[in-house]
């Protein structure tokens, strides 16, 4: 297995610089290369490829060849999937919930992991495991930005990546919170765009999202 040892803080800095983490479900690994090009042309350097399809590992392997792109694996449910993802070139791992075995395996490989949390109890589990950046999922269904703000109050060392129901219409409410590292979402890489191989639209949606984030920074 090939591992890519990168300090967690460096990975987080790249994601925080973008404030956006597109979450991709690819059914065909051949679509990975044009997708990566569309994201880079749209102004993003990071992407999360979910392990929801059989094409995930091959897609990560292709995307990882683009040196400008930081590629991570999402919806990782088992330690075996961690091995597959890292062997394919994933530089970080994201999970939908807190899985001790998955977190432990990532730490053994020195790969940053952002486990999913939905409650204070799960945040405490993450902290006990030495993890301080978590995915808040599914964000909108759990109360949105107001819930993130409430959870951030007692957990001041924790950074959140809210994912689930986030769009350009509500991302401002999340990114206004100091505890939010970035937001994750599929709207830039929606399933219908990927199915139709509409790379121009992926690029334009990415550009629009990047512009929205830039505008929020100017307004501060």
Domains and CATH numbers, the chain: 8-215 (3.20.20.70)
Strand partners, 183: 20
* H-helix or E-strand spanning residue 194: helix 191-195
Question: pLDDT band for position 6 (50/70/90)?
Answer: low
| pLDDT at position 136 over 80 | yes
Active site residues: 48, 135
**Sequence-distant contacts of 92-101: CB under 8 A, at least 24 apart:** 92/11, 94/48, 94/135, 94/161, 94/184, 95/135, 96/135, 96/137, 97/122, 97/137, 98/122, 98/125, 98/126, 100/125, 100/129
Q: Give me the pLDDT at residue 185, please.
A: 96
Question: pLDDT band for position 220 (50/70/90)?
Answer: low
Q: What percent of the chain has pLDDT over 90?
A: 93
What pLDDT digit, counting tens, does each position of 94-121 carry? 999 999 999 999 999 999 999 999 999 9
Strand partners, 184: 21, 163
- Taking the model in full, what pTM does it have? 0.95
Within 8 A by CB and 6+ apart from 60, the residues are 32, 49, 71, 73, 85, 88, 89, 90
């Amino acid at each position: 297995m090939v591992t890519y040892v990168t300090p967690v803080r460096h990975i987080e800095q790249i994601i925080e610089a973008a404030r956006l983490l597109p979450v991709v479900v690819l059914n065909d690994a051949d679509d990975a290369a044009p997708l990566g090009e569309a994201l880079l042309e749209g102004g993003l350097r990071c992407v999360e490829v979910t392990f929801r399809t059989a094409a995930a590992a091959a897609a990560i392997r292709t995307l990882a060849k683009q040196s400008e792109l930081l590629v991570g694996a999402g919806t990782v449910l088992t330690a075996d999937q961690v091995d597959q993802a890292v062997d394919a070139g994933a530089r970080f791992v994201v999970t939908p919930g807190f899985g001790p075995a998955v977190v432990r395996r990532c730490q053994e490989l020195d790969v940053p992991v952002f486990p999913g949390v939905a409650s204070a109890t799960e945040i405490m589990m993450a902290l006990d495991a030495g993890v301080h950046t978590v995915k808040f999922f599914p964000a909108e269904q759990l109360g949105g930005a107001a819930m993130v703000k409430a959870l951030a109050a007692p957990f001041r060392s924790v950074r959140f990546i809210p994912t689930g129901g986030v769009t350009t219409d509500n991302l401002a409410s999340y990114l206004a919170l100091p505890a939010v590292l970035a937001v994750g979402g599929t709207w830039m890489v929606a399933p219908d765009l990927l199915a139709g191989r509409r790379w121009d639209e992926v690029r334009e949606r990415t550009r629009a999202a990047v512009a929205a984030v830039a505008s929020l920074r100017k307004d501060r």
